[in-house]
């Protein structure tokens, strides 16, 4: 080996060591940067004509366990889902309250039950009747507040899905740009290690929002596949599509098309989304919260059915001047009735002015029955343009009383079947409301019942003073045991209405507790994997400092070689 070749060899060592020092210095500078992985300079021997002629810098490599990195991203996606579910269930649990808390549906049911029992003891008390009406309104408000809370949470989830979709799309576009930068760097012979870190940072962002698979090809470009194998990124980014709803109510769902799914290029992949923030939000919006709404709806329906049945079986004193159906009625529909309906015209004290006992089997349609009632002296019965049936006393000082002496329609009294004296109704958004005239005048609350005696005496009382038949039915509605069918994710329940409300509250509390525990487990798993990944691929400052000392020693050794050769040249020149 000539002196010139020796200098060349030593110089190559200095250049390679200098590059390695730069890499190590970069590691130290970026030690606390999120997503940065340790880089290592690789070296390769330069061989010319079979003889070693120094060293050259090879590829700058990321020191990362790719398999561990994938497992961490999977855990990140699972943890995000569990955190979202736990957060929304916690909010719902706070909204629904506890079985012993104030201003909850449980306390509203308890208050109404107590006021009904007080009214049953003092049926003529105006203040007790007012308390019942007030507590009925409060119960409706409590049920509506709970429904609104559930639907507000669903709308929050829907909007959050839109935000997450934007996050994924931004990350896909950024990753697409990074792929292009990697290809350019490869073509110019520049290192792509730092760009690879940035690529994986974007992959982590995507994985947090939605379950994906990915791989890096031979060019260093990253391809991403979404749920169901949908291509999200190859040569180009294929963005997610989602439309947030302007509003969400209990009747809106993904199934009926009122709520948006997530698609890519027209391909719906919603059913395949199994984790990530988006997966959790979809679970909350489409499954978890609707299941709780179904339980609340079942409770509301039981309350409304029980209260209306009792009210329709009774009559107030003074009686209402008119009875109007809650819902539209098809007059041409088959009546399908049997037994006897008593219709009475009463004065303000409940005294009979006239009455008629109608054999329901003689009327083929609802219109036929309406015509028979309308034929009574002093009574007008009509079905208006909106389909509402009204039975009214022609004299404004008189009122209408009904009694189902036997039979009815479909197992209900005519009044119940047609909703003529309902106290409560539910609108299309699932909101419960108290009848306006009763809310304004509690005396219209039915307490007793029209006499079912074989005959009524004109001028005599058709409703006995102190009669509590209707109030007793209302008390029984709230204190009696009934069967509640399984609905949503709540199983069958046997108990009172208050018991069912307590089951709903307890069920939500249990779901929230379990979801929080699951989120902690998933978060712990992610922390462990993230820690392992950081230990395997992160920068250890002590190790980097030690490596820097070694490189400095190597650099000095190469410099010493050049110095010695320089001295040899000087000696040679002095000899000439």
Q: Give the tens place of pLDDT for each residue, 256-265.
A: 999 999 999 9
Count other Cβ atoms within 10 Å, centred on residue 346: 27
Q: In what order do the strands lie in the sheet with 399-409?
A: 352-359, 337-346, 399-409
Of 102, 501, 438, the residue nearest 300 (C-alpha): 501
Of 371, 400, 327, 316, the residue nearest 358 (C-alpha): 371
What pLDDT does residue 163 have?
Answer: 98
**In the numeric block, which tokens belong to residue 299?**
């409770």
**In the numeric block, which tokens belong to residue 17?**
């060591």
Portion of the chain with pLDDT greater than 90, in percent: 73
What pLDDT does residue 557 have?
Answer: 77
- b vs e for 187-219, b when ≥16 Cβ sit within 10 Å of the residue's Cβ? eeeebbbbbbbbbbbbbbbbbbbbbbebebeee
Residue 2 scores a pLDDT above 90: no
Average pLDDT over residues 547-554: 76
- Tell me the per-residue pLDDT of 280-309, one tens digit each, with 9 for 90 and over: 999 999 999 999 999 999 999 999 999 999
Residue 14 scores a pLDDT above 90: no
DSSP H helices, 97-192, are 105-121, 126-188
What pLDDT does residue 214 have?
Answer: 96
DSSP 337: E
Q: Which residues contact 492 (CB under 8 A, 6 or more apart)?
A: 483, 484, 485, 486
Residue 13 scores a pLDDT above 60: yes
Residue 84 scores a pLDDT above 70: yes
Signed CA dihedral, 244, 245, 246, 247: sign only: negative
Of the pLDDT bands very low, low, confident and very high (cuts 50, 70, 90), residue 43 is: low
Residue 173 or residue 557, greater confidence: 173
Average pLDDT over residues 328-344: 96
What pLDDT does residue 54 have?
Answer: 67
Of 142, 147, 144, the residue nearest 101 (C-alpha): 142
Query: What are the residues facing 240 on neighbouring strands?
Result: 264
Average pLDDT over residues 349-367: 96
Count other Cβ atoms within 10 Å, centred on residue 233: 25
Average pLDDT over residues 165-194: 93
Phi, psi at 434, each rounded to 5°: -90, 140
Angle at 115 between CA 444 and CA 404, to 5 degrees: 45
d(CA 399, CA 321): 4
d(CA 361, CA 93): 51
Give the containing element (helix H, strand E) for 527: helix 497-537
Residue 466 scores a pLDDT above 80: no
**In the numeric block, which tokens belong to residue 212?**
């994906």
Of the pLDDT bands very low, low, confident and very high (cuts 50, 70, 90), residue 1 is: low
Residue written as tokens 């308390």?
A: 131
DSSP 288: I
d(CA 43, CA 58): 5
Residue 53 scores a pLDDT above 70: no
Residue 34 or residue 179, greater confidence: 179
Mean pLDDT of all residues belonging to the chain: 90
d(CA 240, CA 534): 31
- Tell me the per-residue pLDDT of 201-235, one tens digit each, with 9 for 90 and over: 999 999 999 999 999 998 999 999 999 999 999 98
Q: What is the chain's length?
A: 576
Pairing of strands 231-233, 213-216: unpaired
> In this structure, are residues 377 and 365 in contact, taking their beta carbons and an 8 Å threshold?
no
Count other Cβ atoms within 10 Å, centred on residue 372: 18
Signed CA dihedral, 290, 293, 295, 297: sign only: negative
Taking the C-alpha atoms of 413, 418, 421 and 427 in order, what is their torsion angle to the nearest 10 degrees? 130
Predicted model pTM = 0.85
d(CA 477, CA 311): 11
Residue 537 scores a pLDDT above 90: no
- Tell me the per-residue pLDDT of 376-405, one tens digit each, with 9 for 90 and over: 999 999 999 999 999 999 999 999 999 999
Give the containing element (helix H, strand E) for 46: strand 39-48
Signed CA dihedral, 30, 31, 37, 43: sign only: positive
- Tell me the per-residue pLDDT of 123-145, one tens digit each, with 9 for 90 and over: 889 999 999 999 999 999 999 99
Residue 544 scores a pLDDT above 70: no
Taking the C-alpha atoms of 8, 10, 15 and 20 in order, what is their torsion angle to the nearest 10 degrees? 150
**Segment among 25-29, 148-152, 312-316, 499-503 with least mean pLDDT:** 25-29
Max intra-chain CA distance, the chain: 153
Angle at 195 between CA 193 and CA 200, to 5 degrees: 95
Query: What are the residues facing 390 on neighbouring strands?
Result: 324, 382
Average pLDDT over residues 489-495: 95
Contacts within 8 Å (CB) and 24+ apart, 98-107: 98/505, 98/509, 99/501, 99/502, 99/505, 99/506, 103/142, 104/142, 104/505, 105/139, 105/142, 105/143, 105/146, 105/299, 105/501, 105/504, 105/505, 106/498, 106/501, 106/502, 106/505, 107/142
What pLDDT does residue 51 have?
Answer: 67
Of the pLDDT bands very low, low, confident and very high (cuts 50, 70, 90), residue 464 is: confident
d(CA 383, CA 389): 4
What would you report as the CA-atom Rg of the chain, rounded to the nearest whole angstrom?
40
Provide the 3-class DSSP secondary structure of residue 393: strand
Phi, psi at 46, each rounded to 5°: -90, 125
Q: Which residues contact 166 (CB under 8 A, 6 or more apart)?
A: none
């Amino acid at each position: 080996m000539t002196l010139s070749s020796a200098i060349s060899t030593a110089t190559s060592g200095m250049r390679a060591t200098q590059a390695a020092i730069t890499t190590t210095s970069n590691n130290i500078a970026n030690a606390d940067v999120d997503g940065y992985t340790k880089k290592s300079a690789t070296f390769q021997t330069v061989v010319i004509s079979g003889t070693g002629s120094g060293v050259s810098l090879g590829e700058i490599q990321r020191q990362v366990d790719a398999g561990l990195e994938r497992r961490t991203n999977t855990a990140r996606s699972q943890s995000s889902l569990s955190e979202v579910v736990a957060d929304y269930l916690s909010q719902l649990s706070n909204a629904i309250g506890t079985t012993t808390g104030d201003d909850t549906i449980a306390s509203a049911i308890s208050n109404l039950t107590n006021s009904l029992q007080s009214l049953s003891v003092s049926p003529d008390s105006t203040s007790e009747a007012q308390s019942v009406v007030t507590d009925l309104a409060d119960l409706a408000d409590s049920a509506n507040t709970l429904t609104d809370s559930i639907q507000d949470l669903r709308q929050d989830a829907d909007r959050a899905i839109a935000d997450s979709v934007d996050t994924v799309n931004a990350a896909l576009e950024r990753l697409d740009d990074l792929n292009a930068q990697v290809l350019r760097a490869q073509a110019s012979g520049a290192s792509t290690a730092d760009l690879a870190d940035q690529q994986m940072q974007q992959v982590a962002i995507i994985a947090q929002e939605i379950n994906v698979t990915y791989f890096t090809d031979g060019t260093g470009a990253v391809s991403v596949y979404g749920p169901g194998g949908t291509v999200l990124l190859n040569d180009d980014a294929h963005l997610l599509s989602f439309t947030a709803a302007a509003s969400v109510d209990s009747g809106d769902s993904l199934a009926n098309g009122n709520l948006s799914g997530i698609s890519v290029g027209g391909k719906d992949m919603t059913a395949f989304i199994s984790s990530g923030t988006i997966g959790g939000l979809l679970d909350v919006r489409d499954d978890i919260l609707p299941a709780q709404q179904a339980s609340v709806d079942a409770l509301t329906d039981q309350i409304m059915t029980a209260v209306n049945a009792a009210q329709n079986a009774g009559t107030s004193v003074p009686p209402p001047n008119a009875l109007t159906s809650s819902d539209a009625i098809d007059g041409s529909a088959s009546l399908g009735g049997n037994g006897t309906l008593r219709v009475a015209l009463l004065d303000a004290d409940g005294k009979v002015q006239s009455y008629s006992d109608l054999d329901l089997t003689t009327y083929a349609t609802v219109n036929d029955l309406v015509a028979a009632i309308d034929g009574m002296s002093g009574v007008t019965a009509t079905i208006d343009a909106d389909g509402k049936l009204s039975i009214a006393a022609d004299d404004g000082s008189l009122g209408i009383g009904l009694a189902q002496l036997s039979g009815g329609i479909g197992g209900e009294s005519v009044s119940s079947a047609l909703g003529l004296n309902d106290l409560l109704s539910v609108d299309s958004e699932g909101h419960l409301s108290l009848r306006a005239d009763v809310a304004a005048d509690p005396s219209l609350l039915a307490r007793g019942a029209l006499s079912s005696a074989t005959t009524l005496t004109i001028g005599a009382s058709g409703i006995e003073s102190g009669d509590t038949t209707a109030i007793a039915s209302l008390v029984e509605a709230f204190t009696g045991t009934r069967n509640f069918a399984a609905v949503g994710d709540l199983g069958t329940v046997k108990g009172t209405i208050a018991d069912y409300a307590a089951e709903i509250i307890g069920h939500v509390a249990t779901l929230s507790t379990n979801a929080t525990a699951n989120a902690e487990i998933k978060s712990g798993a992610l922390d462990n994997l993230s820690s392992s990944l950081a230990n395997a691929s992160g920068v250890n400052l002590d190790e980097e400092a030690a490596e820097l000392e070694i490189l400095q020693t190597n650099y000095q050794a190469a410099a010493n070689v050049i110095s010695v050769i320089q001295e040899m040249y000087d000696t040679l020149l002095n000899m000439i």
